Structure 1
């Protein structure tokens, strides 16, 4: 007996020892070498754990990556990996349905999941005191999912995935282009021959038992990587990981998939007609290389030289000559294989066959021209900077570590990837051109508008051979569900730790003598500087001349082109070599030049910015090219139901003749009216230091920033009056539903709202209305989204918000819904809004609003972009530095009666305009019996 007790004790001791996480690697920072310090552990159940400390912000980012994506599916059951991603948010044994999202959001966090061909990941970013709670959530669905799966949840998420496919693929121009190309590029049944979203008929074919088998086969801890980064204590975090994940049993072993390069021996021509496309598209696909292949960087360089940016050959031959609205090339790499793509969208008057011939001539031109020193410098400068920029945030760092571990078994890949970029030479690029493109067979896809006037590149000559397909045996037989056995009460949700200290950016301000207002914040987390130069005015300046609406946008695009001393191509080349970006865009009330640069290159970058801002060169050739592109974009937008809904809704609430409906983008006629003199006069009249403000964020002190922006001091000032657009002229009829017919639309777009006239106020009515709307439509857990998506499965997402600015804004609730549910969804919107206005917020909703918004400040100031947005808001609205404290006090003291009063006054559905854009044949008969007046409009918002 004594010997037996000793044996049992030894066995118990061995079990405890085996359960301890094993440290297998530790990487520390060394000097100035770019590296992410981390510790890597393996739990006894096979779970890989990677921890990286970063105390610069009081947040933690958690990523769980499972090494399974759509490549582990079979024909007839496509889309299942992505479908399962949705099911992972539907609750587990100790987390009731709907509580996963709600728990994260109530913690002031954000979350999501994504699925691609090779992996599925789930992630949360939360204040660091909420970390233990997130580990509890993630471990519960890893270990305790299946008994919580119900047929009802299954059906709702099946419907939600169908809605996602409709919204993101079937209801937009060219939405199924990649699906068609890959189906012809890869052999029938090859894991990449379909998209992760899958086919609708396959989603209809699977059942809840398929889901359970998928979970048991692929979602074991030994097929997962848990990566945690941010403001964490490694020892404590590791203890929590062992507590919550350590008892989860191993799953079946997962063998690595075998790479298989597809063979396309001769050109394959395929085509289809697109219900929404106004312009045809040619898509050429060649077999490429898998991720981390020795040729990956060289193919990226080849794609840049031939088809990316102002310096590319495709730009020179297609865009510059105004033959095409778009011409690009890319190389895409997956775990098992990859492909190289060339896309061309020709302007009217050009045939797809001509475009194909021009592509071949461009490739021949490249072969004759070869690779220049300039090409190499541009590629290496831009590729290295882009790579470094992805590591700016803790989520970027964690994602990189997780992906590297999943696909290579080694998280420490920064040095190798940078080395691959840096060692690319001319011979490598020419070699991969000859190996992968020259003389190689390709898939040539022609996408045709439904007008029937456009011919494909060549007649279809390819149909997939289905005769040799045999579904792989992934080992779904005999799987059993073994629940973890814990030594603690998992049903008790962990409490949050003490609140972290939130540090808002330290702000400095300055003004030049000629009126430029400068605001900035210093941080040296990354060797980078971000600036924005804002000129007040924007699209609203078109109020002075409505016949030239769209002029501010045209001017902004021309500022991205030539200057007095450099062509656009020369500027693009210099910026690429520096790893910098300068982009000018126009908004409704400002034109903004956005600048990003490595600190070491900021002087050279600002010298180019100075040229673009103060010495632009406007030419007729550039204007003609940009106008043609803008007009074509306007035509294309009319084919997209979501764009049509937004445009027509604006006209309904502002008035079809109000400049606020079209001042920024213009119309086809107003763009045609714009002359080179208009462009020059606009720039001369409205660009001046007195309406200019600058935001500087990054590794520049106040004195250094002011010294580097000295060129702004020499800018001559002038008096500028920014016109105020007229008040809305629209008078929508009550009890009326406006419709726009889009025959055969896969989904309908619904908009419900009205013009409020409320101006932005960070601590006044506008801010309080945002708080009021939060429970109704401001987040995933809002009434609109839970009802329409999670309970009914009619949409991929429903939301509402109060939009505003300096001139007053509007309220809108919106969603893209399944066509068959259009009429029901429209009335559901009105019912939910009406109940909220009548009955008000519930006590639990009020508490959730306070908890979610109140704790979210920890995530607001992490990246340079976030800091810049914060400073811009202070600058644009003349806010005091303490406005955030005042907001927090308003939130803390918010009462139910206050919210209810605001809801009654500002969320009355009887004030609201209802618009539906979709196939009227499916919903009009029901609407005609509803008692509402029905008014049909065209895509321009004109009554039929």
Structure 2
């Protein structure tokens, strides 16, 4: 996987020890030392949960590559998850999830990270796996493994770049902004021809040059004993051979001598997008802090000049964005606006320039600067809420700033940004400066391109049938094992931590709302959700999307506050309040410092009882909803899933429509519809409050009391949704996505309600089929065949009939083969499920329970599940007891009854020109053609 790991640069006025005493600095406790081989080690002890997180940060990203061998850092990350000398084949990918943990990796321009979280009994086993990857994997690399990962990375690029709207924009900007020999000239995933040309010798050269311990930081954070952990680190990592020193990359800032306008006609885009990119400075440069604040001031919030000019006044786009991206050796500042349908980018560019002109004239508003800084404190705590989050921060600061404690200096630098600093960097880097300006528009609308733009060159991959090189994923590996002082065989597990479910308290407000709460004092935060049952289930069938639009407009001010004033009031508290709606409920979600809870609740009451009903806001909300619907049609997997639901549930079931409606239904919704829905259905009679964090029952009830006293409403009758019939036979549908490099496959059927006793059992049944990277779908389609970046299955949890889905995006020229694999794995699942599978499933799910209570979000989910399905406080223990009692016959019986492949519907979204004729050979009759809305008649 490739991504940018952002060092948190949004921290201000930190609070220590969950008290109200303010301090000017913040530190995360740690101990740092270095092994004799040069490996930097950082340890953080946190006994709040029986978990351990390990992060290994290697100081090698795409900026260490050379032209002709681009994408190597990311490709090597993939290779590192394969075999190593002392860990059994495939265990690197399967064992951690079977231990109840989670793992992944990421590569960005400047570095690569590997990370895992496991129950603390698996700490030494994790060290065994991670140390083998860092020090003992290179001898096990084979041609077959090399070829498989080439296919996997290609599939990742197809899924995340080639088959995505605006997926090529980053590559266009990089090539225009940076010279050919600059390390940021190419994307992290690189060029496919470079990847295909990679040899084992190239891989070994890259490893020997960059993957030594002296070029890495190891962080162990969580429920550990420092001294015992030091012994384990020395045992497993200490004898890895010391590597040559790696020279630090030098800063290479760039300039743009003249503005360069480029365009790209995007086959997947439905909306026009413009980006204006300015060269700036590297990370930790003094100007980077002010540039970060400038981005927020320009575009973040209803008072920002770009939002006011583009969204509010001219109605050209649903939102605006401006941000500073500081990397290790250079930086860039980007303004991005994705316009409404058919908006000319000339018009949008003029509006952006006017917004910048307004900022130049009006300067920095002190209230906006204060709001941004207030939000940064809460944001910081939210971003260190888990052991893994802390490991990320400590490791990245150590590797890129030279000190895991640099966070204190970073805090100080952010806090010290003044409005004069912001104006200075605006004048230095943005105002009147040359830039790279990209226009990405739908392929059929070249008239929207910014005047004066030249076409950008993007090399499109051509998918040819049977063109990929074959490989044997199970081929024997012969290699010379590295000598080792101590036994590097698999260590035993420690003592399994006991399941400790948090204490849940319950209460009731004067208006009848039930409260569910958990006191959790690790951070000075409170998180809450108010669920009002109903949601899209209550929408008129011809006006689906009413509840989603209502939720949106409730965020747009109150009787006494304009949208901008409401946003400022929330922001000055460092709080977040968001109203949203899904299929079954409307949610008011909030996050705030515990000291500000009462004031935050007062704003919630105002939003719920005094809507503004502003006509201008209604137009913006409606335009934003229509834009979102159009964008959703550019995502093949989502198109495939939505079409399948329509075919499963028919034309009148709430599940047959996408959440938020269709173009046709939203166009019919009026302000009066929203008012009617609000007064009829938004009532405390169907509401439930969940609250977790640094607050006890008494204080929480006191803070929420006003909500009980000031909010009233009538009875709400939520309709009973009848179950639909199970398809009597399998059917195959096809949606044409012209020029798609991948086919999105979705398979599914209706199953039981979320409250059905069999629902949890079916989640257990599904686990080995598709619930992660160690399950059969992923292992077969990605690891064995190399057809996809990922394939999974899951079971939704609805109050009415839930859905089983299996899905994945596969290389287009293996669409038929992938369909056949999906079918065989599902069809044969019951017969091939063995006692060993049941043992793995039980072990995995029992151990995963230790990770269910770490963050405030985890705790809030637990309470929401309790109230939705009327479960007791001990429902997790009860589920675990159910799991332990399940036997092989029951698993097979449930699979035969509910996951019967002969009752499933198949939907493929792909390139009809090359794949439709192939798919006809699947054996389920002539594929039924659908449009992107899932309709047959088009």
The question of a shared fold, defined as TM-score above 0.5 by the shorter chain, is answered with yes
How far off its partner does 1:834 sit? 1.1
How far off its partner does 1:794 sit? 0.4
How far off its partner does 1:577 sit? 2.4
Contact 2:263–2:456 (8 Å) recurs in 1:
no
Question: 1:797 aligns to what?
Answer: 790
Question: 1:570 aligns to what?
Answer: 565
Question: 1:6 aligns to what?
Answer: none
Question: 1:711 aligns to what?
Answer: 706
How far off its partner does 1:603 sit? 2.3
Question: 1:608 aligns to what?
Answer: 603
2:729 is paired with a residue of what secondary structure? coil
- Cα deviation, 1:755-779, whole Å, max 9, x if unaligned, reads 12x01148x2111111111111112
How far off its partner does 1:501 sit? 3.2
1:335 pairs, out of 316, 328, 340, with 328
Question: 1:201 aligns to what?
Answer: 193
Question: 1:315 aligns to what?
Answer: 307
Contact 1:520–1:697 (8 Å) recurs in 2:
yes
Q: Which moved more, 1:715-724 or 1:401-410?
A: 715-724
- Cα deviation, 1:381-422, whole Å, max 9, x if unaligned, reads 122332232112111111100000010110002221211121
Q: Which moved more, 1:874-883 or 1:52-61?
A: 874-883
- CA distance, structure 1, for counterparts of residue 589 and residue 266 of structure 2: 36
Contact 1:552–1:664 (8 Å) recurs in 2:
no
Contact 1:546–1:663 (8 Å) recurs in 2:
no
How far off its partner does 1:280 sit? 1.1
| CA 1:678–1:29: 2 relative to 1, 3 Å | closer
Question: 2:170 aligns to what?
Answer: 178
1:226 pairs, out of 207, 218, 223, with 218
1:503 pairs, out of 500, 504, 513, with 500
1:168 is paired with a residue of what secondary structure? helix
How far off its partner does 1:735 sit? 4.5
What is the aligned residue count? 894
* 1:529 equivalent in alignment to 2:521: no
| 1:48-197 equivalent positions in 2, closer than 5 A | 48-197=40-189
How far off its partner does 1:289 sit? 1.6
Q: Which runs of 5+ in 1 are unaligned?
A: 1-27, 465-480
How far off its partner does 1:663 sit? 6.7
- CA distance, structure 1, for counterparts of residue 632 and residue 116 of structure 2: 34
- CA distance, structure 2, for counterparts of residue 665 and residue 450 of structure 1: 26
How far off its partner does 1:166 sit? 0.9
| CA 1:462–1:176: 2 relative to 1, 3 Å | closer
How far off its partner does 1:885 sit? 1.5
- CA distance, structure 2, for counterparts of residue 622 and residue 433 of structure 1: 30
Question: 1:678 aligns to what?
Answer: 673
2:384 pairs, out of 383, 386, 391, with 391
| 1:531-550 equivalent positions in 2, closer than 5 A | 531-542=528-539, 545-550=540-545
| CA 1:591–1:161: 2 relative to 1, 3 Å | same
Question: 2:485 aligns to what?
Answer: 487
- CA distance, structure 2, for counterparts of residue 929 and residue 860 of structure 1: 45
How far off its partner does 1:910 sit? 1.1
- CA distance, structure 2, for counterparts of residue 384 and residue 482 of structure 1: 53
Contact 2:816–2:922 (8 Å) recurs in 1:
no
Contact 1:332–1:339 (8 Å) recurs in 2:
yes
- CA distance, structure 2, for counterparts of residue 389 and residue 29 of structure 1: 15
Question: 1:478 aligns to what?
Answer: none
- CA distance, structure 1, for counterparts of residue 730 and residue 593 of structure 2: 56
Q: Which runs of 5+ in 2 are unaligned?
A: 1-15, 458-478
1:493 is paired with a residue of what secondary structure? coil
Question: 1:270 aligns to what?
Answer: 262
Question: 1:361 aligns to what?
Answer: 354
Q: Which moved more, 1:495-504 or 1:144-153?
A: 495-504
How far off its partner does 1:168 sit? 1.1
Question: 1:759 aligns to what?
Answer: 753
How far off its partner does 1:732 sit? 5.3
Q: Which moved more, 1:499-508 or 1:48-57?
A: 499-508
- CA distance, structure 2, for counterparts of residue 275 and residue 461 of structure 1: 18
2:809 pairs, out of 816, 832, 839, with 816
Question: 1:721 aligns to what?
Answer: 717
How far off its partner does 1:29 sit? 8.9
Contact 1:634–1:668 (8 Å) recurs in 2:
yes
Contact 1:55–1:231 (8 Å) recurs in 2:
yes
Contact 1:249–1:482 (8 Å) recurs in 2:
no
Contact 2:34–2:41 (8 Å) recurs in 1:
yes
| CA 1:717–1:413: 2 relative to 1, 3 Å | same
Question: 2:908 aligns to what?
Answer: 916
- CA distance, structure 2, for counterparts of residue 107 and residue 733 of structure 1: 39
- CA distance, structure 1, for counterparts of residue 933 and residue 286 of structure 2: 52
- CA distance, structure 2, for counterparts of residue 725 and residue 463 of structure 1: 51
- CA distance, structure 2, for counterparts of residue 305 and residue 253 of structure 1: 42
- CA distance, structure 1, for counterparts of residue 601 and residue 765 of structure 2: 43
- CA distance, structure 2, for counterparts of residue 804 and residue 876 of structure 1: 10
Q: Which moved more, 1:924-933 or 1:649-658?
A: 924-933
2:248 pairs, out of 238, 246, 256, with 256
Contact 2:302–2:564 (8 Å) recurs in 1:
yes
Question: 1:853 aligns to what?
Answer: 845
Question: 1:443 aligns to what?
Answer: 436
- Cα deviation, 1:28-74, whole Å, max 9, x if unaligned, reads 99996631111101100000000010111110100111000111111
How far off its partner does 1:672 sit? 1.5
2:88 is paired with a residue of what secondary structure? coil
- CA distance, structure 2, for counterparts of residue 908 and residue 649 of structure 1: 17
Question: 1:831 aligns to what?
Answer: 824
Contact 1:538–1:664 (8 Å) recurs in 2:
no
| CA 1:739–1:732: 2 relative to 1, 3 Å | farther
Structure 1 segments of 4 or more deviating over 6 A?
Answer: 28-32
- CA distance, structure 1, for counterparts of residue 415 and residue 114 of structure 2: 33
Q: Which moved more, 1:351-360 or 1:738-747?
A: 351-360
1:929 is paired with a residue of what secondary structure? helix
Contact 1:660–1:725 (8 Å) recurs in 2:
no
| 1:760-799 equivalent positions in 2, closer than 5 A | 760-761=754-755, 764-799=757-792
- CA distance, structure 1, for counterparts of residue 177 and residue 874 of structure 2: 58
Contact 1:249–1:483 (8 Å) recurs in 2:
no
Q: Which moved more, 1:610-619 or 1:117-126?
A: 610-619
Contact 1:286–1:340 (8 Å) recurs in 2:
yes
* 1:516 equivalent in alignment to 2:510: no
How far off its partner does 1:685 sit? 0.7
1:424 pairs, out of 394, 417, 422, with 417
- CA distance, structure 2, for counterparts of residue 818 and residue 348 of structure 1: 30
- CA distance, structure 2, for counterparts of residue 278 and residue 56 of structure 1: 47
Contact 1:64–1:224 (8 Å) recurs in 2:
yes
- Cα deviation, 1:711-762, whole Å, max 9, x if unaligned, reads 2222224211112345437x85735311011110111100111112x01148
Return the TM-score normalized by structure 2: 0.93
| CA 1:482–1:776: 2 relative to 1, 3 Å | closer
- Cα deviation, 1:809-831, whole Å, max 9, x if unaligned, reads 11111001111111110111001
Question: 2:405 aligns to what?
Answer: 412
Q: Which moved more, 1:68-77 or 1:630-639?
A: 630-639
Larger radius of gyration, structure 1 or 2? 1
How far off its partner does 1:901 sit? 1.4
- CA distance, structure 1, for counterparts of residue 580 and residue 328 of structure 2: 37
